[in-house]
Chain A
Amino acid sequence: MIRISGLSRQAGERNILEDINLEIRRGEIFTLIGPSGSGKTTLLRLIDLLDLPTAGTIFFDGQDTAGTEQVRLAIRRRMGMVFQKPAVLNTTVAENVAFGLKFRGADPAQVPDRVRSALELVGLLGFEERRAVTLSGGEMQRVAIARAMVTEPEVLLLDEPTANLDPVSTELIEDLLIRINSRMHTTILFSTHDMIQGQRLAHRMGVIMHGRLAQVGTLHDIFYKPYGREVARFVGVDTILKGVVQTNERGLALVAIGNASFEVVAPCPPGKTVTLYIRPEEVSISIPDGAKKTSVRNQLVGTITKLVSLGPFIRVTVDCGMPIIALITTRSCGELGLAIGTTVVASVKASAIHVRADP
């Protein structure tokens, strides 16, 4: 649907986006995730043809979008965009939603019906005559979505649409996006700095870091097989360890890290330096009792140095010569009687460790 090739944008001397290559497929929900200031907004603005790239090309449905303002306007009118901070015009909700139709010269007789069905889609039927500036943030954002959807765009772009909203409004908007995608087959491209949200909604995601697209893939790829340390940290991989492969028996490698060693599934030959990525959910904590047998290959004894409560979960840091971080439920923490200084065993299955050979 949208193909981006070699796209860059500079502001003065600074590169905001560098050499972005990306393909958005028709009908998918694609999420751009990345920390604030990584270039997500800039990329979305370029795709909506609001700004001009310094270099590179964007193809919309096979058509090169570089051209006169008229060409760009015609392509822009096949998309809809929702901004992080919803801007409504100081008039009624119905008139706000009708703008896209008015600009396109739609038949005035059809406008009220189309506005009503757009408002119905976002669950704001009956709000037609309300003044848009009196709505709450979540309602304004839904008006912004209705306003973008009323023209039935092929692509809907959303720039951190829920960044300023409360959890209830956020959930409403997330459900709405799924409904739009499945009912109207609109291709949706949205950015977020909230990985969990990306995970809930997206078919595929792209991680953007310092203006570069660091990784594109399915959720599983990005969460369990991150490319490199920065992506890993951003997607919540807490334990990142560097070591050297000692032996490798039919794909089961032994990696030495400090005084400990880890068994991992990786094709790397002995002598190779590798980085291990371990998600905290994959680490389990138990009290050592000596006798218990288990299929878990990696068991390290250590003492707890830090406990951070995250509501229903607790993030436990275990010092096993190197810090290993585990995420366990608050209830099991209580049952095991864990506290700082407790000696525990941290276990990780060999298959749960993602290994990347260092270049």
Chain B
Amino acid sequence: MSRAGLVALILMTASVAHADLEDDLGLGPEAAALGGAVTAVPVGFASLHYAPALLAYRGMRPGGAELQIGYVFGSPVLHVTGLDGAPINTARIAETSSVVIGARFDLAHELGLEGLVGAIAISTPVSSMFSYTVRPDDDVQWMTLTDGSSHLSIEAGLAYRPVEWLSFGIAARLALAVELFTSAVVTHVDTYVDATTGDNIIDVGTRIGARGAVSARVSPIASVAVMPIPELRIGVTYRGASYVDDWGWSRVQGVPGLGDIGYVHRFAHWVRPHEVSIGAAVRPIPALELSADLTWEHWAEATTGNFDAAPGRFGDIFVPAVGVRVTVIAGLDVLAGYRFVRAPFSNFGGPSNLLINDTHHASLGLAAALDTLTGQADLPFTLRGSFRLSILDEAREEKDFRRFRNDASWTGNPGYPGYVFGGVVPSVQISAEARW
């Protein structure tokens, strides 16, 4: 099979990406295997997201370029069980199956500036460039694991290392915002009684028109890396909030007795909030590298998909992560990582039923540089694979009458009287990288 045919096959089998790839599953198997503790660890093109300064890391191969093609598969196994023991149905929880393509290239020769490196990455749901679903906040639904924000993600950036021990990097993450305007002109209004059900029916005839537009929304990423000695790196990364608006209006014109009526809708599809990561990596012996990260995530400013700020229910979190890389033999690395993400949202017994758990991410991975491993310089390829198990701590939600205006809305809530929810999300990634 030709290389083009292989790529086409992979693209055909890929479906919609669901959870946020970069942060929930990891962008590329190397970052995934290290638990995302890569603010101070160069991970090829994937450093675009975690630490763009490390696109130009100390000790990099000058004049080189890399192209990596990868595949991600995740299959959530989740449950929501009512307090009476009966399962509660939620919106379909689909598997994540996505393709990631990334490239990193030294621009020193092309632009005449030593230490300048560029990179680009695309992770894409293939069936559609983006797909946003918004349900009422009181629908029992997984907050990040369904199709609330399956989307194309494009990142591109530059890094510059003016001196051996210091580099800077910037990147941009692209998302797509939506505007939709619907107009309808009333042609007739009739009322009648349904012969079968006896219900009063209002039959409104309209002539409908619609106008839509998709626009880009860019969020910035910036980082600094300090590498005082080859065995020690320290990094700081800022990632701007990544979310898109979905807004517009629906208007019905010429309603008898009313004139024009309608409403403006505004939804928000949150991918990530503002984040700041600090990290350090040390190599105490040549065969061992240890890394640790701490990320502050500013979820307090987020909204639900229905643009509800949900006061008190979102909160900032700190995310610790650690990673270890062991070089077993020259050219073969074993990687492992752990990451703990506290739930940034709680329903607190109120009307909303958005499900998100405290989550432990444990991961393992392998990286094999074929040229080093085999001693054949004409095999400049690296194969990587990772397995990550995300364990969702079981959480309990109990509806509190004090958060409802009356008993009817309390007992009528889809989550009444309460439920427990949790599960696991196993995911695997594989990639092949070619170097020039």
A and B physically associate: no
> A interface vs B, CB < 8 Å?
none
